[in-house]
Amino acid sequence: MTTALLTDHYELTMVQAAMDAGTANRRSLFDLFTRRLPEGRRYGVAAGLGRALDAIDSFRFDPATLQFLLEQGIIRDNLAEWLADYRFSGDIWGYQEGETYFPGSPVLSVEGSFAEACILETLLLSIYNHDSAIAAAASRMTAMAEGRPCAEMGSRRTHEWAAVGAARAAYIAGFASTSNLEAGRTYGIPTMGTAAHSFTLLHDSEEEAFRAQLSTLGVETTLLVDTYDVEAAIRKGVELTQGRLGAIRLDSGDLPMMARQARDLLDDLGATGTRITVTSDLDEWQIAALRGAPVDGFGVGTSLVTGSGHPTCGFVYKLVARANSSDRDAPKTPVGKKSRGKNTLGGRKSAMRRLGEDGRAEAEIIGLGAPPDSDGNDRYLLADLVKDGQRVFHGTLEDARTRHRDSLAELPMAALRISRGDPAIETVILDGTGSQTTNPYQAKPRPTGL
């Protein structure tokens, strides 16, 4: 299915006007970045790259799409002819998935003609803003879980296809599994699921429901024990499995207290190996509150996949340099907005993470123009993703999980606090001579108006 119309109307009207003016083919460079992190966030997590590259591969204008655009008067014949042969032919580089980022980090850079790069704006932003926001929330949750597995269970709380992307983003940031089968099929993410309250209510008794589930799924299954009476359900589950029950799930009530009571009861009954999983609208603060409770795993849904749980990343996609010709090697002039509170840094960027002697990150170094010299303890962050229209990056989800784990481990310990605070490290802007220059992306109140 084409992704060409997963975009905003004005992407094509801009290209139409630029084509009519003779400027559509000027070599241009766009950066995708955020000016500041959401309130309460100390770092961001780059996610969505794999989905974005797939979407660019499918960005095609078939005859039906072109007919719609012409009938609506959005484009004219000259642009329709150009779009019919559209294939992105430029270069893309940026942060790999799973990498942490900070205000001003050039998470993605797209270079090509103005026309071919401009019309990717909405597609790229919609993927990156969604996936990176969920990955950041998932990262905070897995950090609070302190090594105990988290399962993504939010499919019923969001758009059916957004649920697939959410499962992927959460997996990058450390979630162990998902309830979403399409995410399992498409991305190879481990899936899990047993039974809901409706399964218990279907049967004449809780014991009958448990017997049916155990008969089909075996004693290692997870029994949902809070439909009626938790203590009675635990006793019955242990009895039916002769103490070999895999796990129980608690989905309501005072979870820290209930988990302690359940653990004591299970141990008293000899089911010392039975695990306890908790669900019920968990977020990072509730998971943090459960750190001292005897909980073996967490199921997270609503707070992970909905906007209330993952504030927007605020990614923007801005033209930062352009040439006066279509020549790939033509010199490019840095350009940028000067609007108060929404100004941008023009020119090509480099990016590296400055590390201390202990291996901990100290700053995000953004170089303008020529890359700044490394002090020998820096880690370069940008990777080539697409060259001359050909995809050259083929990182896997497991690569992204490893990258996120390593990137998070090098941040200062303060990064893992869930209280409000500034970004974990400072963003330092260096000009072409290597001298520090003004950083327009320091934490500040958000601007109002356009």
| Count, residues in the chain | 450
Strands (E), 212-274: 222-224, 247-250
Phi, psi for 358 (deg, rounded to 5): -85, 5
| C-alpha–C-alpha distance, residues 109 and 21, integer Å | 25
Quick check: helix, strand or coil at residue 133? helix
Quote the tokens at residue 387: 């060259």
Closest to 425 (Cα-Cα) out of 104, 98, 42, 39: 42
Contacts of 17 (CB under 8 A, 6+ apart): none
Per-residue pLDDT, 373: 79
Question: What pLDDT is recorded for position 396?
Answer: 97
Write down the pLDDT at residue 256: 95
**d(C-alpha 54, C-alpha 56), whole Å:** 5
Three-class secondary structure of residue 384 per DSSP: strand
Q: Two tokens at 63?
A: 């005859």
d(CA 128, CA 132): 6
DSSP codes of every residue in 313-359: --EEEEEEEE-SSS-TTS--EE-----TTT----S-EEEEEEE-TTS
CA–CA gap between residue 161 and residue 183 (Å, rounded): 9
- Using CA atoms, how far residue 169 sits from 48, 197, 254, in Å, is 7, 28, 29
Q: Sign (positive/negative) of CA torsion 286, 287, 293, 297? A: positive
Computed on alpha carbons and rounded to an integer, the radius of gyration of the chain in Å comes to 25
For 361, phi then psi, to 5°, come to -70, 140
Tens place of pLDDT for every residue, the chain, 450 residues?
899 999 999 999 999 999 999 999 999 999 999 999 988 889 999 999 999 999 999 999 999 999 999 999 999 999 999 999 999 999 999 999 999 999 999 999 999 999 999 999 999 999 999 999 999 999 999 999 999 999 999 999 999 999 999 999 999 999 999 999 999 999 999 999 999 999 999 999 999 999 999 999 999 999 999 999 999 999 999 999 999 999 999 999 999 999 999 999 999 999 999 999 999 889 999 999 999 999 999 999 999 998 777 788 999 999 999 999 999 999 999 998 877 777 889 999 999 999 999 999 999 999 998 787 777 789 999 999 999 999 999 999 999 999 999 999 999 999 998 888 899 999 999 988 888 888 888 655 444 433
pTM of the shown model: 0.94
Give the DSSP letter of residue 191.
B
What distance lies between CA 113 and its chain's CA centroid? Answer: 28
What pLDDT, on a 0 to 100 scale, did the predictor assign at position 442?
63
Looking at residue 443, its pLDDT comes to 52
Which has the closest alpha carbon to 142: 160, 165, 169?
169
- Return the DSSP state at 376: S
User: Which structure tokens are listed for 236?
Assistant: 């019955």
Residue 382, beta-bridge partner list: 95
* Cα separation, 305 vs 188, whole angstroms: 19
